[in-house]
Amino acid sequence: MIERRQTRPVSVGGVAVGGGAPVTVQSMTNTDTSDPAATLAQIARLTEAGCEIVRVAIPNAEALDGFRAICASSPIPVVADIHFDHRLAIQAAALGAAKLRINPGNIGATKRVDAVIEAAGEAGIPIRIGVNAGSLAEEYHDRDWPLADKLAASAQAFCEHFESRGFEDIVVSAKASSVNATIDAYRLLAERVPYPLHIGVTEAGTSVSGTVKSSVGIGVLLREGIGDTLRVSLTADPVQEVLVGWEILGALDIRRLGPELMSCPTCGRCQVDLIPVAEEIERRLRTRRTPVKVAVMGCIVNGPGEARDADIGVAAGKGVGLIFAKGEALKKVPEDQIVEALMAEIDRLDAENA
């Protein structure tokens, strides 16, 4: 069991973050906020994939009307993402934002940050203090320190300022594109501040490289009990961010949204075209929520034994698939019926667990 760091609880539109609540999965829309229909359509897809909190950019005042409509109709809490212009944050708080995300380092003068703090307090919503290499507290910009130290010190300084204003409804992040700097920064923050930590590796990259960097960085932190909510940052469809986030949580046995798929990498013994079979089963399992373990194995001799702890699975032979449950053979089916036969058994398990 992973012993999680204890943090103060924060409520984001009714979703608990910190205070022992389950680690939540977030993403961010990449649609035009001025187009609420398109943004809400994307939020619906994200929600179906398991997203629990969604962040929406407000780049200018023209986006505020769209943001209002998005907040009014979104099925999950909406976080307003603000840079530079504190007035946008103030207005977003009044338009239904469940949380504000600001970089105090790029908002400008202290009085502007204080105005945002006041607006969030009046609206009864939390603020995420988001720090990265481009938004350090001014006093740390030119210090010859490791980036992680500057990130953590900046975030801590901002937290202390918020506290001096009587505001402690805070979530903190200190992200870098470097996995090591990110891990080190969050380790420091976990020792220094009592607030929930929003973890992730920023600017991680495209689907493959970004998934690897995010999985390593987020995975290490979660394994150490650090992190209350996460966002996987990918240059890809944001739905992919949500799927990867859940895979990270599931791999560590922290939370599972639905079935767990195990599949072998295939080798010269495999006598069916297993890769498209595994991909199709994975696709169909994404909409399921019963926490069963499903195995797709390429060898009819070793498959059931290697996957003995799977609830249901298939082991491939020459042009056939052996459907098994808990290591015991159930039936053989032709290769072109493997997917349907396996899904039928999963349907049966779903019905038994309903």
Of 172-176, 213-217, 300-304, minimum mean pLDDT range = 300-304
Statement to judge: residues 38 and 89 lie in one domain: yes
The answer as to whether 3 is a domain residue is no
Check whether 235 has a pLDDT greater than 70.
yes
Q: Are 93 and 68 in contact (CB under 8 A)?
A: no
**Number of domains the chain contains:** 2
pLDDT, position 168: 97
Of 251, 281, 316, the residue that ends a domain is 251
281 token code pair: 């089963």
Statement to judge: residues 41 and 169 lie in one domain: yes
Q: Are 125 and 169 in contact (CB under 8 A)?
A: yes
Give the single-character DSSP code of 84: S
Residues 59-63, mean pLDDT to the nearest whole number? 96
The answer as to whether 1 is a domain residue is no
Among residues 133, 140, 179, which one has the least CA distance to residue 157? 140
**328 has which bridge partners?**
325
Check whether 301 has a pLDDT greater than 80.
no
pLDDT tens for 97-151 read: 999 999 988 888 899 999 999 999 999 999 999 998 877 878 888 888 999 999 9
Residue 127 to residue 90: CA distance in whole angstroms: 12
Residue 215 to residue 321: CA distance in whole angstroms: 32
Statement to judge: residues 23 and 163 lie in one domain: yes
Statement to judge: residues 48 and 92 lie in one domain: yes
> Residue 270: which CATH number?
3.30.413.10
Check whether 158 has a pLDDT greater than 90.
yes
Of 167-171, 251-255, 259-263, 304-308, minimum mean pLDDT range = 304-308
**209 backbone φψ class: left, alpha, beta (φ>0; ψ -120 to 50):** alpha
Statement to judge: residues 198 and 319 lie in one domain: no
Determine whether 87 is exposed, middle or buried from the number of CB atoms within 10 Å of its CB (0-12, 13-18, 19+). middle
Average pLDDT over all residues of the chain: 93
pLDDT, position 257: 87
pLDDT tens for 320-343 read: 999 998 888 899 999 999 999 999
Lookup result for tokens 């609206």 = 123
The answer as to whether 339 is a domain residue is yes
Residues sharing a CB contact under 8 Å with residue 109, sequence separation 6 or more, in sequence order? none
Q: Are 214 and 244 in contact (CB under 8 A)?
A: yes
pLDDT, position 305: 75
The answer as to whether 213 is a domain residue is yes
Residues 201-219, mean pLDDT to the nearest whole number? 95
Q: Which domain holds residue 342?
A: 260-353
State the DSSP H helix or E strand holding residue 18, giving kind and residue range, or none if neither.
Answer: none
Statement to judge: residues 125 and 108 lie in one domain: yes
Give the single-character DSSP code of 224: T
Among residues 248, 347, 334, 342, which one has the least CA distance to residue 295? 342
The answer as to whether 5 is a domain residue is no
Of 228, 251, 274, the residue that ends a domain is 251
Distances in whole angstroms, Cα of residue 148 to Cα of each of 140, 195, 215, 230 = 11, 18, 19, 18
Statement to judge: residues 175 and 269 lie in one domain: no
pLDDT tens for 164-175 read: 999 999 999 999
